[in-house]
Amino acid sequence: MNKIVYLDNNATTKTDNGVLEEMLKYFGEEYGNASSQYTLGMNARETIENARSKIAGILNCMPKEIFFTGCGTESDNIAIAGTARRYKNKGNHIITSAIEHHAVLETVKRLGKEGFEWSIANVKENGIVDLDHLKSLIKPTTVIISVMYANNETGAIQPIHEISTICREKGIYFHTDAVQAAGKLTLNTKELGVDMMTLSGHKFHAPKGIGILFKRNGVNVVPLTYGGHHEQSVRPGTENVPYIAGIAKALEIAVNDMEKHVAHIAPLKEKLKRRILSEIEKSTLNTPDESVCNTLNVSFSGLEGESMLLSLDEYGIEVSTGSACSSGSLEPSHVILAMGRDHLTAHGSIRFSLSKYTTEEEIDYTVDRLKEVIERIRRISPYK
Ligand code: PLP
């Protein structure tokens, strides 16, 4: 097999051809600025508002509750820092979980430097937030809780509905980072009961550099940047019309075809899991049963994730050893450590993340090559 076997779809995804096609005309003849008063500008405005309405329909909210941003990181920052700063007179305490993406954890730490207090909810061994611990952290001053919907490293699905119920009872704002949930789980904001929700286009076959923030009407934020009145001044800056059209199309495909895609991907993940656990010695699962259909995280005892990653790359197989943002550093994954695994186990973890484009042949090829790679590394490893 001479092609790339791409199993790193939690890092980013291939832009869907239908999405690319949808965007092209906004790089071509329809290049207007949506703030301009003439036809070209009004066309751009119409494109943006149509995209917003389409997304609002999918998320079961009002169009004015949808904000376009530059990425998931930016949506997380606006939601958490924006809310905390806006309501700091109400309370200065923030709660998040130990397995969040750095886009959330670093934002919370930054707020700590501004005088906010923060607490981190533990996860259980299976990587799912410990609700009793989370509840015990709530104080009268807690103003916002941010817990992700699906974890990017293990795929573990978090009890969002339960957390939103707790938040509503206590009058606390609730944000969820749903970046890894799009196309895999329901995004119905009313059913989930969330006040704010983050999505990122490049995780569901739109391009990189476009994000969505759902912000319930009535929740106010201090913006991160200042400028014109774009996006209700929550996110000023000339709107990226092609990418906005693209993310709306991508979300429509992801949600409309979700059942079909899950039915394709889930059995492939099951096969990958079954073959690895039965054919490769000393392999242990870091992904619980309650996980999104595309993510499988496995630790191979005594091995370095980095060396497996590089060896697999020689065969054209692309996987990850943690979140993309932290690979390059040799720090073990904070997510795997938070689940109570030791440093060696965390170091030996590999994340496989599948997509609608993954084939059974690719899964078999991956396991066959992985067996060779591990056998070779174990033969020369001092740890065994
Ligand atoms: N949140 C999660 C759970 C992610 O997996 C990622 C990206 O890996 C982000 C946030 C950041 O999104 P973006 O790359 O669009 O900034």
State which of 8, 101, 335 you would mutate to test the pocket of ligand 1, scoring each by most atoms of that ligand within 8 A of its C-beta: 101
The number of the ligand 1 atom at minimal distance from the alpha carbon of 323 is 8
Confidence at residue 323, expressed as pLDDT on a 0 to 100 scale = 47
pLDDT in tens, 251-270: 999 999 999 999 999 999 99
The number of the ligand 1 atom at minimal distance from the alpha carbon of 209 is 15
Confidence at residue 329, expressed as pLDDT on a 0 to 100 scale = 60
C-alpha 200 to ligand 1 mean position (Å): 7
87: which DSSP letter?
Answer: T
C-alpha 384 to ligand 1 mean position (Å): 35
- Would you list the domain boundaries of the chain? 5-13+258-380, 18-256
Q: Residues 31-37: contacts with CB within 8 Å, 24+ apart?
A: 31/241, 32/241, 33/238, 34/238, 34/239, 34/241, 35/228, 35/230, 35/238
Confidence at residue 331, expressed as pLDDT on a 0 to 100 scale = 82
Residues 126, 334: contact at Cβ < 8 Å? no
14: which DSSP letter?
Answer: P
The number of the ligand 1 atom at minimal distance from the alpha carbon of 325 is 8
Q: Report the catalytic residues.
A: 325
Query: Within 6 Å (CB) of ligand 1, which residues are found?
Result: 71-73, 76, 101, 103, 148, 152, 177, 179-180, 200, 211, 323-324
Domain pair 5-13+258-380 / 18-256, same fold = no
C-alpha 18 to ligand 1 mean position (Å): 23
The number of the ligand 1 atom at minimal distance from the alpha carbon of 180 is 3
d(CA 34, CA 97): 39
Share of the chain above pLDDT 70, in %: 97
Name residues of the chain where pLDDT drops below 70: 1-2, 322-329, 382-384
- Class of 5-13+258-380 in CATH: alpha beta
d(CA 249, CA 104): 27
Q: Which helix (H) or strand (E) holds 299?
A: strand 295-300
Confidence at residue 325, expressed as pLDDT on a 0 to 100 scale = 44
Residue of the nearest CA to atom 9 in ligand 1?
Answer: 72
Confidence at residue 322, expressed as pLDDT on a 0 to 100 scale = 65
Residues 6 or more apart whose CB falls under 8 angstroms from that of 366 comprise 5, 7, 272, 312, 317, 352
Q: Which CATH number fits domain 18-256: 3.40.50.1360, 3.30.465.10, 3.40.640.10, 3.40.50.1220?
A: 3.40.640.10
Record the pTM: 0.97
